[in-house]
Amino acid sequence: MRHILKADDFNPKLIEELFKKALFFEKSLEKKKDLKSLVGAIMCSLFYEESTRTRFSFEAAMHRLGGQVISTENASMFSSAAKGENLEHTIQVISGVASPAMRYADIIVLRHPEIGAAQRAARVSGVPIINAGDGAGEHPSQALLDIYTIQKFCKRLENLSIGFVGDLAFGRIVRSLVKLLSQYKNNRFYFIAPEGLKIGQDIKEYLVKKGISFQENGNLEDVIGDIDFCYVTRVQKNHIQDQKFIEEYQNSKDKFVISKEIYELSEARGTFFGHPMPIDSREQEISPEVENLPRVIFLKQAGFGVPVRMALLEWIYKK
């Protein structure tokens, strides 16, 4: 039985295998082919935090493969967690630890506000666990579809200059994405963030240990001409307890917003701009004036979530 709990659970060989399958599914969906490899399988989407793209793309992926889905809108309110049940008991029941033939689901996709919750779930589960985000920890399936996107547009995963912009301290996706991209040769990272939202010391130590080049910057304009793919993130207001970090961003956000000026400065390099979404409509970290321009590709990026998660679900179920 396999789990996907963190970015390190992937390696280039597995990623290549999953991407070949994702491309097959992408083309099959375009041709409206009937896909039935997971008929009879049930996926539980167990989300203790809000989600649109992750939850819906996992559920769509399961349905596209002929499987079924059970879910709850907000497990912290509309499950027995509201009555005091702990995560371990919930997982044990859904995964049928005591009675495998009568388990509720064959795969559990879990989102939880606590770092390490997916690991806790995996320790007691009778079925595979996919971490769909654990607080400010990791989000490995999002990172997987992000590098699928990068490969699609940049035509490679090596010898890249990647810029990460915005909230790099509390955003779990950046942590996972940096770890995945670190598995490929000669990649260089630019971390562009205001004080209080800078990339964590643990990630910097991880990169130093692996001998990977990176630099920190306080203004996107200074480095945009050197970046191949610019990964923009919103401020994780739902994970930030100290309001001063949000205020610091708001007071200096012009240095981190993808504006028309930034887009034009990136023209010579041909920089692509991605975003895991949602984009904060108040902060507008990608300006509405550029969001429909050719190299701003966050909507296509979101769409890749379905074929990539189809590949992941089929792989983890058949293992």
pLDDT at 194: 85
The overall pTM is greater than 0.85: yes
Q: Where are the domains of the chain?
A: 7-139+303-318, 140-299
Q: Given 3, 6, 64, 111, which residue is catalytic?
A: 111
Please answer whether residues 151 and 157 qualify as being in contact, where contact means their C-beta atoms are separated by less than 8 angstroms: yes
Token digits of residue 175: 């942590």
pLDDT at 54: 94
Q: Given 31, 32, 83, 319, which residue is catalytic?
A: 83
- C-alpha–C-alpha distance, residues 89 and 81, integer Å: 10
Please answer whether residues 1 and 128 qualify as being in contact, where contact means their C-beta atoms are separated by less than 8 angstroms: yes
Q: Given 55, 64, 120, 139, which residue is catalytic?
A: 139
Apex CA 174: angle with CA 172 and CA 177, to 5°? 115
**139 is known as an active-site residue:** yes
**CATH topology match: 7-139+303-318 vs 140-299:** yes
Q: Given 2, 53, 188, 198, which residue is catalytic?
A: 53
Token digits of residue 241: 């307890």
**172 is known as an active-site residue:** no
Which CATH architecture fits 140-299?
Answer: 3-Layer(aba) Sandwich (3.40)
**89 is known as an active-site residue:** no
Q: Given 6, 54, 149, 271, which residue is catalytic?
A: 54
Please answer whether residues 35 and 61 qualify as being in contact, where contact means their C-beta atoms are separated by less than 8 angstroms: no
User: What does CATH list as the number for 7-139+303-318?
Assistant: 3.40.50.1370
CA distances from 197 to 218, 248, 253, 280 (A): 11, 9, 12, 16
- Sole residue written with tokens 């008991």: 89
Amino acid (1-letter code) at residue 303: G
- C-alpha–C-alpha distance, residues 94 and 315, integer Å: 21
pLDDT at 81: 64
Task: Establish whether the linkage from the previous residue to 128 is cis, with ω within 30° of 0.
Answer: no
pLDDT at 40: 96
Phi–psi pair at 130, nearest 5 degrees: -115, 120
319 residues of the chain, pLDDT tens digit each: 899 999 999 999 999 999 999 999 999 999 999 899 999 999 999 999 888 899 999 999 999 999 999 998 776 655 666 557 899 999 999 999 999 999 999 999 999 999 999 999 999 999 999 999 998 789 999 999 999 999 999 999 999 999 999 889 877 899 999 999 999 999 999 999 988 888 999 999 999 999 999 999 989 999 999 999 999 998 765 555 556 656 665 655 678 899 999 999 999 999 999 999 988 777 788 999 999 999 999 999 999 999 999 999 999 998 7
**111 is known as an active-site residue:** yes
Cβ count within 10 A of residue 254: 12
pLDDT at 163: 98
pLDDT at 282: 77
**269 is known as an active-site residue:** no
Please answer whether residues 262 and 210 qualify as being in contact, where contact means their C-beta atoms are separated by less than 8 angstroms: no
